[in-house]
Amino acid sequence: MLELKNQKQILVKFQSLLALLLMVVIFSICAEGFFTKDNFWLVLRQVSVNTCLSVGMTLVILTGGIDLSVGSILALSGAIMAGLLKNGLEFPAFNLFISFTLFGAVTVGLMTGSFLGFFNGLMITRFKIPPFVATLAMLTIARGLTELWTGGAAITGLGRTFGFLGTGWFLGVPVQVWACAGIVAIFVVVLRKTRFGRYVYAVGGNERAAKLSGLNVNRIKLLVYTLAGALSAVGGLIVTSKLNSATPTAGDGYELDSIAAVVIGGTSLSGGKGSVLGTILGALIIGVLNSGLIILRVPPFWQKVIKGFVILLAVAIDKLNTKEP
């Protein structure tokens, strides 16, 4: 009986990895051209944006929250980077024009994402607005600001140097994959080896107990949402540089893929349980699923249906595991 329970625990622990390996085997057999070097790099490049968003989403969900605004923050941050780099800032009333270097434009874009994330955290902690409502409002606000900033049209012609960030290769690996690997490494260490990481788990595990033990729960949540906004801006940098343009619709629906990656990766929606590495497996599962279905020429509408059932299955498994003593 004890051995059976141990086997079940091992299966639960590695369920995401087993699911990923099973999908790779199935698509390798059924989809010609799936198990190739070119498709391998294509999947990793596609997953890189979702990875940035999902790492931030992991932090948020670990504290028992949710962030529906990551896709819109991605779009606005990317649009601001592109607009400043291409057109600068002009103040006709003062006869003033400010041009931006690549570093300056990227810095302002990252600061924009961080500020919007901070604003989300402020609404949630100071004004006690539920995370779902606060971030849903930010989804609309940021999307509207993106349309205002771009005038409803794409900002193009951002230069080869900027484009290199999203399309270049370094030591045989895409630059964006290097960037995401660095982000993953940083936050694995943060959650596993730092006090802040332990505090994040404590807040999500039992917020009342965390408060009674002396933790500043509001400050922790504020920092978590700020980091989620900053990582969304990094995603905006990757998307904008890859396309070498910023569009008002960039990042539309990305929040759903992000939440799906976190849940499929084993992070509990109730908070306090999960890991960044699990989230990466979840993002890879979604990336492999998308790639395999496209190669098999499954119609886009059916792809959404299948992805929805995968998310439902992941949540159901999470609930069943949570009920276990």
> pLDDT digits over 96-109, tens only?
888 889 999 999 99
Are the C-beta atoms of residues 49 and 298 closer than 8 Å to each other?
A: no
Task: Identify whether 186 is part of a domain.
Answer: yes
Task: Identify whether 13 is part of a domain.
Answer: no
| pLDDT exceeds 50 at position 122 | yes
CA–CA gap between residue 54 and residue 255 (Å, rounded) = 9
Number of independent structural domains in the chain: 1
| pLDDT exceeds 60 at position 178 | yes
Instruction: Give 323's pLDDT tier (boundaries 50, 70, 90).
Output: low
* Least confident range of 3-12, 205-214, 310-319: 3-12
CA 301 to chain centre: 23
CA 310 to chain centre: 18
Which contacts qualify for 199-204: CB closer than 8 Å, 24 or more apart?
200/59, 200/62, 200/63, 200/224, 201/62, 201/272, 201/273, 202/272, 203/62, 203/63, 203/64, 203/271, 203/272, 204/61, 204/62, 204/63, 204/64, 204/270, 204/271, 204/272, 204/273
Task: Identify whether 244 is part of a domain.
Answer: yes
Task: Identify whether 27 is part of a domain.
Answer: yes
The reported pTM is 0.92
Nearest to 83 by CA among 240, 234, 239: 240
pLDDT tens digits, residue range 266-298? Answer: 888 888 888 999 999 999 999 999 899 899 988
pLDDT tens digits, residue range 6-24? Answer: 555 666 667 778 888 888 8
Task: Identify whether 217 is part of a domain.
Answer: yes
Q: Which residue has the tokens 């299966």?
A: 11
Angstrom distances, CA of residue 32 to CA of 160, 221, 262, 284:
34, 46, 29, 19
CA–CA gap between residue 119 and residue 17 (Å, rounded) = 36
CATH assignment at residue 318: 1.10.3470
Query: What would the mean pLDDT of 218-247 be, rounded to a whole number?
Result: 95
DSSP 262-321: HHHTT--TTSS---HHHHHHHHHHHHHHHHHHHHTT--HHHHHHHHHHHHHHHHHHHHHH
Backbone angles phi, psi at 301, to 5 degrees: -65, -40
Instruction: Give 324's pLDDT tier (boundaries 50, 70, 90).
Output: very low
| pLDDT exceeds 50 at position 325 | no
Task: Identify whether 47 is part of a domain.
Answer: yes
Instruction: Give 309's pLDDT tier (boundaries 50, 70, 90).
Output: confident
| pLDDT exceeds 60 at position 3 | no
The DSSP code for 68 is S
Nearest to 300 by CA among 263, 253, 242: 253
Are the C-beta atoms of residues 203 and 43 closer than 8 Å to each other?
A: no
In sequence order, what are the residues at sequence separation of 6 or more whose Cβ sits closer than 8 angstroms to the Cβ of residue 206? 272
Nearest to 203 by CA among 117, 251, 158, 270: 270
Nearest to 143 by CA among 55, 78, 65, 231: 78
Task: Identify whether 253 is part of a domain.
Answer: yes
Task: Identify whether 5 is part of a domain.
Answer: no
Counting runs of H as helices and runs of E as strands, what totals does the chain give? 14, 6
CA 189 to chain centre: 18
For the beta carbon of residue 27, count every other beta carbon within 10 angstroms.
21
Instruction: Give 310's pLDDT tier (boundaries 50, 70, 90).
Output: confident
Which range of residues forms the domain containing residue 50? 19-323
